[in-house]
Homo-oligomer: A and B are copies of this chain.
Amino acid sequence: MSPDSGNKTTRDCLLEVAERLFAQKGYDAVSVREITNTAKCNLASVNYHFGNKKTLYLNVFRERWMLRAQYIRACFEENLAGCGDTSPASVIQSLAEALIKGPLTDEERLFHFQLMIREMTKPTEAFEIVMEETMKPTFEGLEQLFQPYLHESIDEDRTLLNILSIFSMVLYFNFARLPVSKIIGHAYDQRFKDRLVQHIVDFSLSGLPVKEIAR
């Protein structure tokens, strides 16, 4: 018997289903039975293919989450190359587009950032993967890109805070779609995403659009 529909292996099918469920509900709220029932395979297959539930969760990050992170990064670099320059405006635009519109489906993007948020609020072993192999390298790259354009008086710490601020916006608008929709008052559709990217670029470059120089 093949798992689920299609020609995927049981192992891959388990990873796929597990990612969705872990992202939606969190590790503890998902049972092995729910995973194997959804994947239409036997209860024991989780332990057969991954040893235990915890290792399955870890492999979701190793084999699926990391892959998506690489897609996003590749998309960012492609976007940036298409800009012709590496000005802060181009960098932020490329980054926001890769993260908000990017190469992933809406569903994948939601899962990706939900898993990320879960690891940040209650870190497990997967946190190291997210942190060391994705965030740190990305942030260091951004730091290098921004550095030549920032005032000389800006030290490394302040640059990092700036990057973290941009990141916090992207993160928030990705995982908190429900509250964002509630506040804004309309759907999280393609038009809104375009607007969001533009907003993130504008805000990151200029902050609030205030009238006077009360800055």
| A interface, CB within 8 angstroms of B | 24-29, 87-89, 92, 114, 117-118, 120-123, 127, 131, 135-136, 139, 146, 149-151, 154, 157-158, 160-162, 164-165, 167-169, 171-173, 175-176, 178-180, 182-184, 195-196, 199-200, 203-212, 214-215
Complex: chain B residue closest to A115, CB-CB: B121
Say yes or no: A204 contacts B214, CB within 8 Å.
Answer: no
A168 to B178, CA, bound (A): 14
Which residues of chain B have C-beta atoms less than 8 A from A200's C-beta? 165
Say yes or no: A210 contacts B149, CB within 8 Å.
Answer: yes
Which residues of chain B have C-beta atoms less than 8 A from A169's C-beta? 165, 168-169
Say yes or no: B172 contacts A214, CB within 8 Å.
Answer: no
A160 to B215, CA, bound (A): 20
Complex: chain B residue closest to A150, CB-CB: B209
Partner of A154, one of B29, B157, B209: B209
A29 to B179, CA, bound (A): 24
Say yes or no: A24 contacts B209, CB within 8 Å.
Answer: no
Say yes or no: B120 contacts A178, CB within 8 Å.
Answer: yes
Say yes or no: A135 contacts B179, CB within 8 Å.
Answer: yes
Say yes or no: A122 contacts B183, CB within 8 Å.
Answer: no
Which residues of chain B have C-beta atoms less than 8 A from A92's C-beta? 208
